[in-house]
Structure 1
Amino acid sequence: MNVKSGFTYLLRIVGLVALFFAASFSVTARADVNVTFYSHDFGKNFPHAFFVAKGELSDGKKVDTAFGFTAINVSPGILFGSVNGHVKAPSASYIASSNPHFTVKIDDGKYRKLMAVVQKWQAIPQKSYSLNKRNCVHFINDVIKTLDLKTNLKTANWKKPRSFMEEVMKLNPFLK
């Protein structure tokens, strides 16, 4: 190997090392989605616990959605057993009149997991809503666990959305 070809070879190696080094420090686009958890005081409107997701995914897709789980028809029937339920997006005015409790920033992976929970709940066979076994708080608990936050599976707050959210905040003191 002559000096010129050795020098060229060395330059190629240094160039490749520099390229790999620079690639290891490159900044990839990250999702910037904020998920805020709400409760709504009891009344004629449902769901009483829900979340709102807003922001942008790393591919530039905008996110502006909200979901909760509730009975399709709120009637005395919910007191006696399971009824038809659905995942519902609360209206903007309903969100505005609700109580925000805490917000979590998530990345693309967590957003995909969050939406998988929504899809799972949308696919539950009817009669899917049960005041005692599968209500809005159970749905939100499933979402919160997906985001790796602590919850209390033995909570006394399955029918108390505000109290449940406050309990989650106590279990995860970094939440605001």
Structure 2
Amino acid sequence: MRRLAALILSLVALAWSVGAAADVRMSFHSFNGSVLFGRFPHTFIVLEGTLDETGQPIEENYGFTAKTVSTRLLNEPVEHAVEVEDEKYIQETNRHFTVTLTDAQYWQVRSEVTKWRDAPGKYYDLDKRNCIHFVGAMARIAGLRVDYPKDMLRRPKKWLNHITVLNPQLGAEAID
């Protein structure tokens, strides 16, 4: 009887440890960029891990951007896109901090990504609805404090450093 009880306790402990190891992590990235050369400054999220309920592996990333870069985006809303970045590009970015999501939060993030992607019309606005606002919406789902100081709306790295300060529970440091 003792052996049976020990075996059952061992199986329960194993099942608990496997379940506890499953999680999805959401990392917040910025790219310094250059307005004059190459890509513009940018921020996006990376999702990695495993869903608790199904064990499904997750390896995704999403960023919000203008569909076409032109001078029009400086003065008016333009068509938008949600883009997925190549792994090579991700390696060249700044990872500011990472949070762990529940399965429910993961699905909320995915739903929010879909809303931004499928919004009708010209939805990208450099000062009112850009990559920073998109990443901020995802941060709120994770329970982070978010705001959008006007002087940071075109400076993703500075903005994510600001979010780091607003959320000391992250234990993250600003990136130079």
TM-score range for the pair, normalised by the shorter chain length: 0.7 to 0.9
Query: How do 1:38-53 and structure 2 match up within 5 A?
Result: 38-43=29-34, 44-45=38-39, 48-53=42-47
Residue 138 of structure 1 deviates from its aligned partner by: 0.7
Name the counterpart of 2:23. 32
1:85–1:52 CA distance, 2 compared to 1 (3 A)? same
Give me the TM-score of the superposition, normalised by structure 2: 0.80
Paired position in structure 2 for 1:20 = none
Matches within 5 A, 1:56-75: 56-58=50-52, 59-75=54-70
C-alpha deviation, 1:45, in angstroms: 2.4
Unmatched runs of 5 consecutive residues or more in structure 1? 1-22
Check if 1:117 corresponds to 2:112: yes
Q: Is 1:102 aligned with 2:93?
A: no
Question: Once the two structures are aligned, what percentage of the paired residues are identical?
Answer: 33
Shift of 1:42: 2.3
Return the offset for 1:83: 0.9
Aligned position for 1:9 = none
2:144 & 2:151 partners in 1: Cα distance?
18
Aligned length: 152
Tell me, which stretches of 5 or more residues in structure 2 are unaligned?
Answer: 1-11
| CA distance in 1: counterparts of 2:57 and 2:43, whole angstroms | 23
70, 79, 82: which one pairs with 2:77? Answer: 82
Q: What displacement does 1:80 show? A: 1.6
- Which residue number corresponds to residue 128 of structure 2? 133
TM-score normalised by the chain length of structure 1: 0.80
Q: Using the TM superposition, give the Cα deviation of residue 47 of structure 1 relative to its aligned residue in structure 2, in angstroms.
A: 6.9
Q: Which residue of 1 aligns with 2:146?
A: 151
* DSSP 3-state at the match of 1:81: coil
Return structure 1 stretches of 4+ with deviation > 2 angstroms: 26-31, 42-47, 153-156
**RMSD over aligned Cα atoms:** 1.9
